[in-house]
Structure 1
Amino acid sequence: MKRLYRYLIPMLGLAAAGCSETSPSLDDATATGTLTMKVSTRSETSSAEYDPMEHLTVSICNSDGKPIRKYTSESGIPERLELLAGAYSVSVEAGEKAAASFTRRFYKGEEPFTVTPGANTPVEVTCTLQNSVVEAVFDETIAENFGSEFEVRVMPGASYDESRADAASTLRYTENAAGYFTLDEGVDALSWRFSGTHASKGAVEKSGTIPEVRTPGKYTLTFRYSPDLPGFIEAVAILVDDDTDDFDDTIIWSPDPTIEGDGFEISETQRYLGGEKRFLITTVKPTTAATLTFDGKPYDLLAAVSTPTAGLAVVKTAENALTVTLSDDFFTGCPGGDHALRIEATDNGGGNGSAECIFALQGVLAPSAADYDLWANTVTLRARVFDPSVTTVTFGLRTKNGSWQELPGTNAGSETWTATFSPEWTESSNESGLTVFTPKAGTGVRADGEYECRAMFGERESLASFATAGGQSIPGGDMEDGTMSCFTINNQTTPFWGSGNNNYMSAIIGDQLTRLCTQQEKCGSKCALLASQTAAGLLAAGNLFSGTFVKPSTQGTVGFGKDYDWQARPRALRLKYHATIGTVDMTKYTDASGNHPIAAGQPDRAIIYVAIVDWDAPHNVSSGMSAPSGMWDPSTATSQAEGPVIGYGRFVIKESTAGDEMVDKELEIFYYDRVTKPSKPCKIVISCSANMYGDYMNGCSTNRLYIDDFQWVY
């Protein structure tokens, strides 16, 4: 039942000359002060509970008792009201007058105050409840004997009058509840009647009176049933002293701490160009806590009185007053843009106040995802500059703790300077004599990176940091999904990975463990095993690739190339492998020179490559009982008939892996084209073969290649 509502009206008297330190003396007849009125709730009530503040009247009267101002809502009360110096009174009414109600109640209070030029005059108005409260409490014996067939009616008067049982001044209780009564002048008693239907006793009634009712005052009626009681019902009426904690139902109008800007409106955005900014905090009672929060970081202002922070000075001018000064050092290193500052203060009287101010700072703005392109590896830095004397801005970019790259800024208008950082490239020639490019470390921006940026103008340096979005994954690159097409003989259509497994091989060998590509476990992780085989006297290379495989007859065709939504340009392809490489023991077809691409008796090789392509359709390579066709190598040509090769990475495995562990390997990607982002249906090729020249059916029939964990490196 305890409810304590607190509302705020601080009275602040100021000399008419404003903030001047040498204000002229004023004649008492013309001197003015300012009455500042703010209404705020200190302790909240349930949203479902009646709110008397929705029915508010505040009146200000002069010393003659004549009303000079009247307000009928919280929103209508002005922030500041100028009054002549002198004596006044404020009266407050909240709630509604009702003869009887379970929710509506009425409060009233009045307090004199004096407006004095140049003085701070707070006033506190205690609004007391103007109702008499009757709470009905039903002992558990009532429900046990009457179920829901009972009620209590309470009405004003010394005796219960049946003719007024349904009047507006009568309340009907059917459960534990408190009701509020407004008694007419001369009425000082409340009467009640209990009525119910007992299962065996029939109708049961009992009446009573509460004499000498006080306003405010609370009376609790407790009802219980017993067959030994006269009339079977006992009703005990208890007056709860309204001076105790059991009945605290008042509204207190009291000043909360005030927080103001010294010479500026705290509600307006402050375009900070340097110097000092001061905030004045005033509490009615001694200040017990004060906190400044800037960009989410809190500062204890009372602690800062004795232990200053760089750029933050706090002076305690009185037990209830603080002056907070911010200077250049406080904002050093902050990025540009709008920054939220919030000050909160409390006093030992339970008052609390807060204020917010936005500081607009010059400097570099923290980049967002819209500012960078992870395929082009570019980022546009922006700085907010509103000082008209600034004519040059220099931008800097670096990886976290790396070396700075610098560019001069361009004035883009609207108080914004910009500079776009692009990657630098290293040019070289590959083994085929083709020109290729690799991105230079520490230039541009890449996926999953942490960066720092800055803007410098004059003597000022502004810093910000940002992280780029994470990189992309390769579908099924961890080889954990044993249902992928590459591990089956159904590779005519594939989501991504395919292999040369086919019905023809299964029919000849009959054991899936001897398929060209199977899921195995090695070093505690699932992986792909590429196992070369022989069938019908021919070599079948163990293989895995992004594409499809069809074998309608004795000739099989791989369709290299899959769609891929490129968002970030990779620097390399990382994977794990373990290889067993033997001696060439099978040869079949020759290359364009008329020779076998690798001779019998020579150490065989395996190969892994990746190609970023922009093809209209998959590139087909066929081999089998007829001569192979369509063979290609991304390191020897910048395009195929289907479209250009944007870049590639290639790893030739020339010897067996030592030990039994998987080995990490990165395939650096060399770019032919530094600009184009693939947009056609086929955008990526990854190919792994246990025999480098398996298309020619040349190689070692016992080669084994374990592959796992394909990932991009940025």
Structure 2
Amino acid sequence: MTAQSCSDDIAPDQGEGLLKMKMIVNSEVTRADVDETYLADNCVIYISSTKGLIHKFKGLDNVPSDLWLKSGSYVAEAWTGDSVSASFDKKFYRAYEPFTIHQGVNNVIINCKIANVVASVNRDRVSSELLPEFKVTVANTKGELVFDADNINDAHGYFMMPNGDTKLTYTIEGVNMVGTKFTKSGEIPDVQRAHEYVLNLNYNENENQNDVGGAFITISVDDTELLIEDNIIIHSAPKVTAYGMDITAPITGAQNSFDDILLGGVCYGNFKSMRLAFSDKAAFGTQYDAYELMNLAESAETELRGHGVTWSTAASTTDAGYTQMRMKIPAAMLNGLANGSYW
């Protein structure tokens, strides 16, 4: 038997507190193209104390909704995305959040900001007549990206800077309006994470048009800190627990000796799916193998409730934005089972 639901509350010892974590991925460059599932699945979270690492989680589905910690000071670190030297589409996010645990509920937001240095090229001031052919190569010591006529209008380059590497270099190659082939290079020093560096191209028709070093091209760089515009909140899957039993183990017991099965669940937002499945519908006396409780036909609901199965959802009274679910599968539905194990 399977369902989606939550964990039983365990009373804390003195000097302990309950940690509830929420993770936000945000930056000016985070848009609808972000794959929320991918970020959640690839997220790594470390919880450390003054004694060192105490918890490590890979994938938000593996992060417990509630985590009891002793009172004291901690640090939450998180990473998600793709850490590559240079890419037009792979971004990397990281967070470092110190927090303190007191007795009671402690809410911590793990705020993952973009960890890349971002670069783009603006050629609005230079027409195709002035510069009919060109490309701009931007690089750090580990990778490079090429901006050309095909991508320059909307491309952003994302760079992960190697240790000790504090600058981006750029090289402009092309042909100007009189047919001169040129190459011009420069650098952007002291680059910082979560900053975008826009290379603005300018063309000076009064300079020597035959200069192969590109004296007629000048570049100004705008440095913009990437402020938060969008928040994408990624949460672990709904947590499931059965009161007084192990939900991951089969139901085992003697005939006519079962108690009610009580389930509870919690998720961020609303439950989109809640599926109750039976390994042997004949043994349980149900018409179907599985029931999608959030989209249930009236006849199927009548059948389940006729068996005494009850379920409900409601907004959490303790955690804003969360929904709780409660379900009961009555002993009367189980006591007719023959001796054996059932899922």
Q: Give the Cα–Cα distance (whole angstroms) in 2 for the partners of residues 49 and 38 of structure 1.
A: 14
SS at match of 1:90: strand
Residue identity opposite 2:192 in structure 1: R
Question: 1:145–1:187: structure 2 CA closer, same or farther, 3 Å change rule?
Answer: same
- Paired with 1:116 and 1:57, the residues of 2 have a C-alpha distance of 25
Q: Distance in 1 between matches of 2:218 and 2:38?
A: 35
Q: Cα gap change, 1:84/1:355 in structure 2, threshold over 3 Å: closer, same or farther?
A: same
Aligned equivalent of 1:15: 11
Q: Does 1:76 align with 2:50?
A: no
The equivalent of 1:153 in structure 2 is: 137
Task: Give the letter aligned to residue 144 of structure 2.
Answer: T
Partner of 1:132: 117
Deviation, 1:238, is: 0.8
Counterpart in the other structure of 1:193 = 171
Give, in angstroms, the shift of residue 220 of structure 1.
1.0
Question: Aligned pair 1:113/2:94, yes or no?
Answer: no
Counterpart residue number, 1:102: 88
8 Å contact kept, 1:261–1:280: yes
Shift of 1:193: 1.8
Contact 2:130 2:176 in 1 (8 A): yes
1:241 and 2:219 matched: no
Contact 1:127 1:252 in 2 (8 A): no
The 1:150–1:51 alpha-carbon spacing in structure 2 relative to 1, beyond 3 Å, is farther
Q: Counterparts of 1:345 and 1:84 in 2: how far apart (Å)?
A: 25
**Alignment coverage as a number of residue pairs:** 276
1:352 — aligned with what?
Answer: 321
Is 1:61 paired with 2:30?
no
Matched with 2:291 is none
Residues 271 and 323, structure 2, Cα contact 8 Å, conserved in 1: no
SS at match of 1:104: coil
Choose which of 122, 125, 131 in structure 1 pairs with 2:107: 122
| Residues 45-60 of structure 1 aligned to structure 2 (within 5 Å) | 45-46=32-33, 52-60=39-47
Q: Deviations over 1:59-92 (max 9, x none)?
A: 112233x112222333333445444444432211
Aligned partners of 1:49, 1:386: CA distance in 2, in Å? 40
**Closer, same or farther: CA 97–193 of 1 in aligned 2, 3 Å:** same
If asked which structure has higher relative contact order (CA below 8 Å, sep 6+), I would say 2
Work out the CA distance in 2 between the residues paired with 1:49 and 1:335.
37
Q: How does 1:463-474 map to 2 (within 5 A)?
A: none
Counterpart position of 1:337: 304
Q: Pick the structure with greater CA Rg.
A: 1
1:183 counterpart = 2:161: yes
Matched residue SS, 2:107? coil
The 3-state SS of whatever aligns with 1:121 is strand
CA shift, 1:184, in A, is 4.0
Separation of aligned partners in 2, 1:197 and 1:250: 43
1:122 counterpart SS class: strand
Alignment CA distance shift 1:264-1:218 (3 Å) = farther
Amino acid at match of 1:337: L
Match of 1:92 in 2: 78
User: Which whole-Å deviations, capped at 9, do the CAs of 1:423-472 have from their partners, x for residues lacking one?
Assistant: xxxxxxxxxxxxxxxxxxxxxxxxxxxxxxxxxxxxxxxxxxxxxxxxxx
Partner residue, 2:144: 170
Task: Please list, as runs of the form range in 1=range in 2, the aligned pairs for 1:523-542 lying within 5 A after superposition.
Answer: none
Give the match's secondary structure for 1:337: helix
**Residue number in structure 2 paired with 1:638:** none
Provide the C-alpha distance between the structure 2 equivalents of 1:49 and 1:152, rounded to a whole number of angstroms: 32
Q: In structure 2, do the counterparts of structure 1 residues 27 and 240 end up closer, same or farther at CA, with 3 Å as the change threshold?
A: closer
Q: Which amino acid aligns with 2:105?
A: N
Aligned equivalents of 1:127, 1:292: Cα separation in 2:
25
The answer as to whether partners of 2:25 and 2:111 remain within 8 angstroms in 1 is no
Distance in 1 (CA, whole Å) between partners of 2:43 and 2:327 is: 33
**CA distances 1:223-258 after superposition (whole Å, capped 9, x unpaired):** 25463466443433111133x45xx588878x89x9
User: Deviation of residue 134 (structure 1)?
Assistant: 1.0
Residue identity opposite 1:121 in structure 2: N
Instruction: Indicate if the aligned counterparts of 2:22 and 2:108 stay in contact, CA closer than 8 A.
Output: no
Length-normalised TM-score, structure 2: 0.58
Is the CA contact 1:97–1:105 (under 8 Å) kept in the aligned structure 2?
A: yes
- Cα distance in 2 between the residues matched to 1:99 and 1:173: 16
Shift of 1:122: 1.0
The answer on whether the counterparts of 2:24 and 2:233 sit within 8 Å (CA) in structure 1 is: no
> Structure 1 CA distance, aligned partners of 2:31 and 2:316?
18
Distance apart, 1:142 and its partner CA: 4.3
In structure 1, the gaps of 5 or more residues are 1-11, 17-25, 157-166, 269-276, 284-289, 294-333, 362-384, 389-412, 415-714
Q: Pairwise CA RMSD of aligned residues? A: 5.3
CA contact (8 A) 1:225 1:232 kept: yes
Mark the CA change 1:343 to 1:40 in structure 2 (over 3 Å): closer, same or farther. farther
Q: CA-to-partner distance for each residue in 1:523-551, whole Å, 9 max, x for gaps?
A: xxxxxxxxxxxxxxxxxxxxxxxxxxxxx
Separation in 1 of the partners of 2:127 and 2:233? 39
Q: Which residue is equivalent to 1:507?
A: none
CA separation in 2, counterparts of 1:89 and 1:48?
A: 27
How far did residue 151 of structure 1 move? 0.7
CA deviation profile, 1:650-671 (whole Å, cap 9, x unmatched): xxxxxxxxxxxxxxxxxxxxxx
**How far apart, in 1, do the equivalents of 2:31 and 2:102 lie?**
33
Distance 1:250 1:40, change over 3 A: closer
| Mapping 1:486-505, distance limit 5 Å | none
The one-character-per-residue Cα deviations of 1:615-649 (angstroms, maximum 9, x if unpaired) are xxxxxxxxxxxxxxxxxxxxxxxxxxxxxxxxxxx
3-state DSSP of counterpart to 1:235 = strand
- Paired residue secondary structure (1:75): helix
TM-fit CA distance, 1:197: 2.3
Of all paired residues, the percent bearing the same amino acid is 22
**2:174 is paired with a residue of what secondary structure?**
strand
Distance (Å, rounded) in 2 between the aligned partners of 1:54 and 1:259: 16
Does the 8 Å contact 2:65/2:239 carry over to 1?
A: no
* 1:664-689 Cα deviation digits (max 9, x unpaired): xxxxxxxxxxxxxxxxxxxxxxxxxx
Q: Which residue of 2 aligns with 1:215?
A: 193
Amino acid at match of 1:130: A
Deviation at 1:344, TM superposition (A): 5.5
1:13–1:121 CA contact under 8 A, matched in 2: no
Q: Distance in 2 between matches of 1:342 and 1:27?
A: 32
The code of the aligned residue for 2:116 comes to N
